[in-house]
A and B are shown apart, each in its own frame.
Chain A
Amino acid sequence: MSHPAVTIRGLHKSFGAVEVLRGIDLDIPRAQVTCLIGPSGSGKSTLLRCMAFLEETSSGSILIDDAPLGFRTHADGSRTRLPAADIRTARRKIGMVFQQFNLWPHMTALGNVSEALKTVQKLGRREAEDRAMVQLKKVGLAERADHFPSQLSGGQQQRVAIARALALEPEIMLFDEPTSSLDPELTGEVLNVMRALADDGMTMVVVSHEIGFSASVGQKIAFLDQGQLLLTGTPTEVFGKPRHPRLDQFLETYLDRGAAMLL
């Protein structure tokens, strides 16, 4: 098997006195969809945010393609924080999609998608917008390019956010509960875009309450409970019977999100 896209070892994360992640070891396989599931407060979103260095880990290491993210770990186990420019370089391989979309409200859809191409990659306006349009077409929103976020539905906003991340050609896409703030009738369009992305062979890490999506699209499932990885494996291994009692209990509460088909 090829090298993992992300390698997480001995990861701990505390917010003050509260330890949210308590020793996580996880490999994110390349060109596969890894789904992080678990009850609220299990630490799955925090784990995902650590992979983008939006949260600083308390100890342990994260490697993106063998390159350390955020901290360099020395032989004696101590860590040094890397300079901001190194963090930006490491992040170039990562695209992130947020629960609240986080589109910049003062820019159109096209402006949102082309912004980093212009400001960071220093492309000319023309080329940046051409490349942005390609991504907007991919998520089916080319005709909404000149709309502001406030003029788009939640599902459309999230698809623009996906296009914005894809425009920077990341190797790994992180999704933090991408459908949790959407009406049920709008989640479908976002999940379809994600499914198409998975079919294209994108390396994806998805935190989601959509158990049905995780079971059908996910190739690796990681079940977190109270800051620890309780189970990892293929959907068949994790969801197959006999099932871990904690997982059973968790699935019972998600019958309306597609978990019913697993029971």
Chain B
Amino acid sequence: MNSWKLWMLLLQGAGLTVAVSLLSIAIGLAIGAVISAGMLSSKQVFAVPSRLFVSFFRGVPLLVQLLLIYNLLPAIGINVSSVGAAITGLSLCTAAYQAENLRGGLMSVPKGLIEAAEMAGLNATQQFRRIRLPIAFRLTLPAIINEAIMILKASSLVSVVGVVELTRMTQDLSASTYRPLELFAMAGVIYFIINWGLSFIGSYTENAIRWGRP
């Protein structure tokens, strides 16, 4: 097999890595926002399950979570593809970390800004959606991007549920070509470029939403 062919196959795996990771990052961020609100709620019905969610998904290894979800979903009658199980696992795990990031941001929103929203007549949901969350998001953007990069790298673990993403593709190819050094070096370069792109998107967003600071 020539190098060109190898690159093509690796990029195919990389495509799946990017697709699974980006979807999981987006879904995880949305779930994380809801969980962060729950954690700060004064109502125990919301606070307790949110805290349990975070402790579970932070406390159990991602590898175990993925295998658990992959085996649990069919057992309770939900048929899910390998990719579906992978996205579910990654999303829930990253949601727990993003919830903690956002919770930190939400707690640092100055009280006066919330009082102003209160006086403007915004109810609790409107305050969260329009004032607290957007400000918290801006305050915690570096940590959020950090977590996105972590999850992209952790996506190599989804090979255990049968998703042939970049790492798995590299393993399979090196087994059949006996060229592991070359292949893993190529995979490393691809991971680096993807994450470099992700941090570029991060700093671009950071600049674009800097609330107009020069």
Query: Which residues of the other chain, B, contact A120 by a CB distance below 8 angstroms?
Result: 120-122, 126
Assess whether B43 is interfacial by the CB under 8 Å rule: no
What 0/1 readout, one digit per residue, does chain B (195-214) give for beta carbons within 8 Å of chain A? 00000000000000101111
Query: Which residues of the other chain, A, contact B115 by a CB distance below 8 angstroms?
Result: 54, 96, 98, 102
Residue in B120, B126, B211, B213 whose Cβ sees the most chain A Cβ within 10 Å: B120
B contact patch SS: helix
Number of A interface residues, CB 8 Å? 31
Contact between A119 and B130, CB atoms less than 8 A apart:
yes
Assess whether B131 is interfacial by the CB under 8 Å rule: yes
What 0/1 readout, one digit per residue, does chain A (136-152) give for beta carbons within 8 Å of chain B? 00000000000111110
Assess whether B154 is interfacial by the CB under 8 Å rule: no
Contact between B118 and A54, CB atoms less than 8 A apart:
yes
What 0/1 readout, one digit per residue, does chain A (100-125) give for beta carbons within 8 Å of chain B? 10111110100000011001100000
What 0/1 readout, one digit per residue, does chain A (149-179) give for beta carbons within 8 Å of chain B? 1110000000001001100100000000000
Number of B interface residues, CB 8 Å? 24
Complex alpha-carbon distance, A49 and B30, angstroms: 35
Assess whether A95 is interfacial by the CB under 8 Å rule: yes
Complex alpha-carbon distance, A80 and B135, angstroms: 34
Contact between B122 and A150, CB atoms less than 8 A apart:
no
- Nearest CB on B from A136, distance (A): 16
Contact between B124 and A88, CB atoms less than 8 A apart:
no
Complex alpha-carbon distance, A126 and B122, angstroms: 20
The residue in chain B whose Cβ has the minimal distance to the Cβ of A98 is B112
Residue in A120, A149, A161 whose Cβ sees the most chain B Cβ within 10 Å: A120
- Nearest CB on A from B112, distance (A): 4
Assess whether A94 is interfacial by the CB under 8 Å rule: yes
Residue of A91, A105, A115 near B130 (CB, 8 A) is A115
- Nearest CB on A from B106, distance (A): 14
Residue of B116, B126, B212, B213 near A104 (CB, 8 A) is B116
Complex alpha-carbon distance, A119 and B213, angstroms: 26
The residue in chain B whose Cβ has the minimal distance to the Cβ of A49 is B115
Complex alpha-carbon distance, A161 and B138, angstroms: 22
Contact between B135 and A104, CB atoms less than 8 A apart:
yes
The residue in chain A whose Cβ has the minimal distance to the Cβ of B112 is A102
Contact between B122 and A116, CB atoms less than 8 A apart:
yes
Residue of A96, A104, A164 near B131 (CB, 8 A) is A104
Known contacts: A98-B115, A102-B115, A104-B131. The answer to whether A164 contacts B120 by CB under 8 A is yes
The residue in chain B whose Cβ has the minimal distance to the Cβ of A149 is B211
Q: Which residues of A contact B (CB under 8 A)?
A: 52, 54, 84-85, 88, 91-92, 94-96, 98, 100, 102-106, 108, 115-116, 119-120, 147-151, 161, 164-165, 168
